[in-house]
C-alpha cells in the first residue's frame, strides 16, 4: 500500500493503539497531595487571627474581704514586756500546738474555754466584734487583734500561656486581672500581640487583648472574684507557624527524595530490560539497525524511528523504497496477513507523510538498498571466487 495522505489516516485507524504510560511517580510532585509517603504532621497550619474585640465584665468596686471556710485566723495580744504579738493565754495556741484557728465547714472556729464561734461570711470588723463579745461573756480579757494567716476560701485559677499556672488566693488586698496574670509569671508568647486574656465567670466569657490589658490607662482595671477562671490564649503562635513551615519544607524534601528514588528504580529496570515495552524493528540500509522502543505516553511515527536510528545510509540506502511491515488484525485461526506500507521519499515533500504515519508494536521498518548497491555486492561476492579460480588454474598449469 503506498503511503498517501488518505492511506496514512486509514493505517492509523485500522490498528488502534494506546501508548504505555509512565508510572504515577513521574506525575507526582512534592506537594504532599496524594503523595507516596503517608503524611504525619507534628504541626498544624497557623492562621493569623484578626483583631480581638474587647469584652469586659461589669465594673465593680472593691468590697471588704469576708472570711470563708478554710481560712486560718489568729488571735494576738501585746504583752506588757514586749511589743510583739503573742497568742492569748488559755484560748490561743500558747496552750495549743496549732498556729491558728481554721474556719470549718459550718463557718465556725473552735476556741478552748470559749467554744465554737461562727465568723464565716463576716468581714474582719464583724468577726472581731463577735469574738470580742464572746470573750467578754467568757470573762476573758478581750484585748486582742484578729488576723488571717492563710487565705484558702477564695481563689482564682490562672492558666494557659503563662509562666506558672496556679491558683491565686484573694486576700484583704483586692486582686485585679492584670495583677493575677503577672503573679503567674506573665504572658509567655513569642509575639504577645496575638495573645488574648479570657475571663470565665458565671457561664459568661470576657476577653481582653494582652497588649491592651497591660497598657496604661487604656481600660478600667478588672476586679476578680472568687471562682473566676483566667486563661491566656495564644491564638497565633509564631513558633508554631515557623515550625509548620519547616515541617512542610522537610516533608516536601523527603517526598522529593522518595519520588527520585522510585524514578531511579524504574529507569534502572528499563535499562536492564525488566519492564514490559512496545518495540518496532528497524533494519536495512539505515545507519543503526536494531530494536527501537516505542515511547511512553505518546505516539511514535515512521520519521521518529528512522531518524532515531541515524537515518538512511546516504550511499547505499534507497529513499524510494521505505517500507513499514505490519500484521493485519485477523480472527483467530485464520492465516496471518501482512500489509507493507511503502513510502517513496525521493520526493522530499513525501517525508511529511512519514511524520504522520503512526507506528504500532512489532512493526518492521525496512529501507531497501539501491540497485547499484546490489550490483556492487554481487560483484564483491563474485570477485573472490574468480580470484580463487585464477589461482587454481595457475597452479595446474
pLDDT of res. 236: 57
Buried b (16+ CB within 10 A) or exposed e, 66-102: bbbbbbbbbbeeeeeeeeeeebbeebbbeeeeeebbb
Per-residue pLDDT, 329: 65
pLDDT tens, per residue, the chain with 397 residues: 898 888 889 888 888 899 999 988 887 766 544 444 455 555 555 555 566 788 899 999 999 999 999 999 998 765 444 333 444 444 444 433 345 899 998 999 988 888 899 999 999 999 999 999 988 888 887 787 889 999 999 999 999 889 999 999 999 999 999 999 999 999 887 777 778 888 998 888 888 888 888 887 778 889 999 989 999 887 655 556 566 667 777 877 888 888 889 999 999 998 998 989 999 999 888 888 999 999 999 999 999 998 888 888 877 888 888 999 998 766 666 777 888 989 988 887 788 888 899 999 999 999 888 765 554 555 565 555 545 545 545 554 5
The three-point CA angle 233-236-237 to 5° equals 100
How much is the pLDDT for 237? 54
Q: Given this model, what pLDDT does residue 34 score?
A: 47
Q: What is the pLDDT of residue 67?
A: 95
Q: How many Å apart are CA 87 and CA 324, to the nearest integer?
A: 120
The pLDDT value given to residue 40: 56
What is the set of domains in the chain, with CATH numbers?
5-20+276-374 (3.10.560.10), 24-43+240-271 (no CATH), 72-150 (3.30.1950), 155-236 (3.10.560.10)
How many angstroms separate the Cα of 332 from the Cα of each of 285, 328, 335, 337?
34, 12, 9, 12
Residue 357, C-alpha cell as written in the block = 504515519
CA–CA separation, 230 vs 32, rounded Å? 40
Task: Enumerate the H helices of the chain as residue ranges.
Answer: 5-14, 124-137, 177-183, 210-213, 238-271, 302-308, 351-354, 371-396
Backbone angles phi, psi at 364, to 5 degrees: -120, 120
Amino acid at each position: 500500500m503506498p503511503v498517501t495522505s488518505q492511506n496514512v489516516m486509514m493505517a492509523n485507524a485500522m490498528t488502534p493503539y494506546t501508548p504505555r504510560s509512565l508510572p504515577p511517580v513521574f506525575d507526582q510532585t512534592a506537594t504532599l497531595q496524594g503523595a507516596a509517603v503517608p503524611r504525619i504532621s507534628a504541626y498544624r497550619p497557623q492562621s493569623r487571627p484578626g483583631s480581638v474585640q474587647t469584652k469586659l465584665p461589669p465594673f465593680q468596686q472593691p468590697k471588704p474581704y469576708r472570711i470563708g471556710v478554710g481560712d486560718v485566723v489568729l488571735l494576738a495580744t501585746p504583752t506588757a514586756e514586749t511589743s510583739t504579738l503573742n497568742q492569748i493565754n488559755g484560748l490561743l495556741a500558747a496552750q495549743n500546738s496549732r498556729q491558728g484557728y481554721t474556719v470549718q465547714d459550718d463557718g465556725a472556729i473552735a476556741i478552748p474555754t470559749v467554744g465554737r464561734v461562727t465568723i464565716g461570711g463576716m468581714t474582719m470588723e464583724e468577726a472581731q466584734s463577735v469574738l470580742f463579745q464572746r470573750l467578754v461573756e467568757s470573762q476573758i480579757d478581750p484585748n486582742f487583734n484578729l488576723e488571717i494567716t492563710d487565705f484558702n476560701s477564695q481563689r482564682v485559677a490562672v492558666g494557659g500561656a503563662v509562666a506558672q499556672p496556679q491558683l491565686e488566693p484573694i486576700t484583704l488586698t483586692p486582686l485585679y486581672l492584670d495583677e493575677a496574670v503577672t503573679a503567674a509569671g506573665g504572658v509567655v508568647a513569642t509575639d504577645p500581640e496575638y495573645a488574648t486574656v479570657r475571663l470565665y465567670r458565671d457561664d459568661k466569657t470576657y476577653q481582653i487583648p494582652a497588649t491592651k490589658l497591660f497598657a496604661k490607662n487604656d481600660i478600667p482595671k478588672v476586679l476578680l472574684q472568687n471562682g473566676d477562671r483566667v486563661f491566656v490564649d495564644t491564638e497565633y503562635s509564631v513558633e508554631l507557624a515557623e515550625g509548620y513551615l519547616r515541617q512542610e519544607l522537610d516533608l516536601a524534601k523527603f517526598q522529593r527524595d522518595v519520588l527520585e528514588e522510585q524514578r531511579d528504580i524504574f529507569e534502572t529496570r528499563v535499562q536492564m530490560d525488566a519492564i514490559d515495552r512496545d518495540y518496532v524493528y528497524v533494519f536495512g540500509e539505515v545507519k543503526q539497525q536494531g530494536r527501537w522502543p516505542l515511547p511512553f505516553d505518546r505516539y511514535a511515527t515512521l520519521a521518529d524511528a528512522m531518524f532515531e536510528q541515524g537515518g538512511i545510509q546516504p550511499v547505499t540506502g534507497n529513499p524510494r523504497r521505505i517500507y513499514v511491515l505490519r500484521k493485519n488484525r485477523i480472527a483467530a485461526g485464520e492465516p496471518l496477513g501482512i500489509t507493507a506500507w511503502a513510502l517513496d521519499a525521493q520526493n522530499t515533500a513525501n517525508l511529511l507523510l512519514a511524520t504522520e504515519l503512526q507506528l504500532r508494536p512489532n512493526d518492521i521498518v525496512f529501507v531497501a538498498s539501491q540497485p547499484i548497491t546490489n550490483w556492487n555486492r554481487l560483484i564483491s561476492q563474485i570477485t573472490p571466487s574468480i580470484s580463487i579460480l585464477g589461482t587454481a588454474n595457475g597452479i595446474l598449469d
